[in-house]
Amino acid sequence: MDQDTEAEETNEAQSETVNSNEDSESSNEQQNNNQKKETKQSSRGAPDRAEKATINRVVDGDTIEIKYKGSIEDVRLLLVDTPETVHPSKPVQPFGPEASNFAKEKLEQGETVYIEFDGPKRDHYDRLLGYIWDDGKNLNKQLLRKGLARYAYVYDPPYTHQEALQKAEDYARSNQLGIWSMEGYVTSDGYASQSEDSGDTETESTSQSGSSSSGYNPNGPDRDCSDFDTQAAAQEFYKKAGGPEQDPHRLDGSDGDGKVCESLP
């Protein structure tokens, strides 16, 4: 073999090696890009334990309806309470429409969200209890931070996000946002009633409608059997709230026999 032929073969071998290395680098780069793309697409911004669901409709600020595991389920947002807009025995409360509209703006029908459970999965009305994650953000926390809800119904602490939610409420309160812009409106057990002409508080409303021996206003915040020490106290409250013709607090359960909270002493 002459020197020219040998040199050509050497150059061809080197060229093939370079091309092979370039192809390998290109393949690795493409693989890395695909992995990055796949990671980005699978990232949902919600905790790993959160489960996928689809928005069916928004009922009000703190209650939504989702499609979850093939069924339509009501969801009560965990640890938040927004003013009423659809309660059967209460008027629309200040900032209730704002809370409801905010939820509707965030949660469109058919949209995919994630629900995170924390403690008991259902309440005594058989509604799911959880945090709703939308575009990587906790809706419960957003409502509190904007002053559209109060931190409430803390039945089974500690909760995973309780500190973050409390800080969100503190921010709204210190900046007098939403519900915190009305002095005396937010109470320890709900929202004070407001009359059209004088801004009467819930206490004044209670004196007019009559409170039960439990001290709870029958026209006030939603109550359940755990709020009462005895069946007799729950029964009295039930009657003052309109029972048995009406049961706005849904204390009578599914049997509808007119005797409420029968498990209480």
Reduce the DSSP state of residue 103 to 3 states and report it.
helix
Question: For this structure, is 84 an active site residue?
Answer: yes
| Phi and psi at residue 126, to the nearest 5° | 70, 20
Question: For this structure, is 173 an active site residue?
Answer: no
Identified catalytic residue from 122, 127, 173, 250 = 127
Q: How far apart are CA 251 and CA 237, in angstroms?
A: 10
77 with 130: CB under 8 angstroms? yes
Task: Please give the torsion angle defined by the CA atoms of residues 250, 252, 256 and 258, in that order, rounded to the nearest 10 degrees.
Answer: -130
Cβ-based neighbour number of residue 69 at 10 Å: 9
Output the CA–CA distances (angstroms, integers) from residue 264 to 157, 230, 254, in the order listed: 23, 5, 16
Question: For this structure, is 127 an active site residue?
Answer: yes
Looking only at the bridges linking them, the beta strands covering 80-81 and 71-77 are unpaired
Structure tokens at 207: 């004196």
β partners of residue 63: 60, 76
Identified catalytic residue from 84, 98, 202, 236 = 84
Query: Among candidates 218, 95, 222, 213, which has minimal Cα distance to 153?
Result: 222
108, containing H or E segment? none
Active site residues: 76, 84, 127
